[in-house]
Structure 1
Amino acid sequence: MQTLTLSGYRETPLRPGALVWFAPGTIHRLVNDGGLEIIVLMQNSGLPEAGDAVLTLPPDLLTDPATYAAAVALPGGGAPGTDLAAAYGRRDLAVRGFELLRAAAVAGDLTPLRQFHAAAIGLVQPHLESWRQRWRDGALRAADETRQQLDALARGEAPHFVEAEVYQIAEPRDRGRRGMCGQLDTYPVS
Structure 2
Amino acid sequence: MSRQRVPPPPLDTHPDPEHAANWRPDPSRTPQEWLVEGLLEEDHDAPYRLVRVYGQPFAPRELPLNYELGPLRCCYANAFALASEHSDLRYVEGYCTTWGSDTWKNRHGWCIDEDDQVVDPTWGTGRLPLAYRGIVLPLDIAEPHAKPFSHGTIDGGMMTDIPTLARLLGFPWPPTPEHSR
Q: Calculate the TM-score normalised by the size of structure 1.
A: 0.28
Larger proportion of helix = 1
Between 1 and 2, higher relative CO (CA 8 Å, sep ≥ 6) is seen in 2
